[in-house]
Amino acid sequence: MKTPQQRITRRRFVGTMAATTGGIILPRAIGSSADYPSTEHFWYRKPPPGIYIDSQRDNKAFGYADGKIFLSKDNGHTWPHSIVFPDAQRITFSHILKNGNVLFATGAKLYLSADSLKSYREITVKAQDGSDYIPHTPQKPDNPGWYFHTLPGVVSWDVNGKEMMVWGNYCNVLGGATPVNIYYSTDSGRTVKIAYAFGQNPKFRDNGSAGGSATGALLGNPDNPVICRHVHTVAYNPKENAFYACTGDLDRGFGHECHWLRGTYNAKQDKWNWKVLVSTQSNTRYKCGGITFVDDKVYWISDANGPKPHDRGVFCCNPADIAKPEKHTMLYNPGVESGCMVIQDGVMIASHCGPASPLNTGFIISTDMGKTWAQHDLKEFGKRSPVRFHEKNAEGWFRVDLRSGWIKQEEVLFIKPK
The span from the CA of 195 to the CA of 169, in Å, is 12
Residue 23 lies in a domain: no
Give me the residues paired with residue 263 across strands.
243, 274
Position 372: which residue type?
T
pLDDT at 414 over 80: yes
pLDDT at 407 over 50: yes
Provide the percentage of residues in the chain whose pLDDT is more than 70. Answer: 92
Q: Are strands 347-351 and 121-123 parallel, antiparallel or unpaired?
A: unpaired
> How sure is the predictor about 26, in pLDDT bands with cuts at 50, 70 and 90?
very low
Helix (H, G, I), strand (E, B) or coil at 381: helix
Angle of CA points 402, 102, 72, to nearest 5°: 70
The count of domains in the chain is 1
DSSP string, 187-218: STTSS-EEEEE-B--TTSBBSSSSS-BSSSB-
Q: What is the pLDDT of residues 223-259, one digit of tens each?
A: 999 999 999 999 999 999 999 999 999 999 999 999 9
Residue 278 lies in a domain: yes
Residue 80 lies in a domain: no
Q: Give the pLDDT of residue 384.
A: 98
Instruction: Output 1 or 305, whichever has higher pLDDT.
Output: 305
Residue 255 is part of which domain span?
87-286
Per-residue burial over 144-172, b if 16 or more Cβ lie within 10 Å, else e, is bbbbbbbbbbbbbbebeeebbbbbbbbbb
Average pLDDT of the residues in 337-346: 96
Provide the percentage of residues in the chain whose pLDDT is more than 90. Answer: 90
The span from the CA of 303 to the CA of 233, in Å, is 13
Q: Give the pLDDT of residue 12.
A: 31
> How sure is the predictor about 308, in pLDDT bands with cuts at 50, 70 and 90?
confident
Q: Give the pLDDT of residue 1.
A: 37
Residue 144 lies in a domain: yes
pLDDT at 415 over 90: yes
The span from the CA of 386 to the CA of 2, in Å, is 29
Q: Give the pLDDT of residue 4.
A: 43
The span from the CA of 113 to the CA of 119, in Å, is 6
pLDDT at 39 over 80: yes
Average pLDDT of the residues in 319-346: 97
Residue 75 lies in a domain: no
> How sure is the predictor about 347, in pLDDT bands with cuts at 50, 70 and 90?
very high
The span from the CA of 240 to the CA of 252, in Å, is 34
For 367, half-sphere exposure in the C-beta direction (CA atoms, 13 angstrom radius) is: 11
Residue 33 lies in a domain: no
pLDDT at 21 over 60: no
Q: Are strands 102-106 and 109-113 parallel, antiparallel or unpaired?
A: antiparallel
Q: Give the pLDDT of residue 225.
A: 97
> How sure is the predictor about 3, in pLDDT bands with cuts at 50, 70 and 90?
very low
pLDDT at 361 over 60: yes
Residue 2 lies in a domain: no
pLDDT at 25 over 50: no
Residue 120 lies in a domain: yes
Q: Give the pLDDT of residue 318.
A: 98
> How sure is the predictor about 307, in pLDDT bands with cuts at 50, 70 and 90?
confident
Q: Give the pLDDT of residue 31.
A: 56
Choice among 103-112, 294-303, 305-314 with the minimum mean pLDDT? 305-314
Give me the residues paired with residue 236 across strands.
243
Q: What is the dihedral of CA 243, 103, 196, 230, to 10 degrees?
A: 90
What are the phi and psi torsion angles at 32 (to 5°)?
-70, 165
Are 305 and 337 in contact by the 8 Å Cβ rule? The answer is yes
Indicate the helix (H) or strand (E) that contains 261: strand 258-266
Q: Give the pLDDT of residue 32.
A: 65
CA 221 to chain centre: 23
Q: Give the pLDDT of residue 33.
A: 73
Positive/negative CA dihedral, 218, 222, 228, 234: negative
pLDDT at 19 over 60: no
Give me the residues paired with residue 284 across strands.
none
The span from the CA of 298 to the CA of 93, in Å, is 26
Instruction: Provide the whole-model pTM.
Output: 0.92
DSSP annotation of 270: T
Q: Give the pLDDT of residue 410.
A: 96
Q: What is the pLDDT of residues 148-203, one digit of tens each?
A: 999 999 999 999 999 999 999 999 999 999 999 999 999 999 999 999 999 999 99
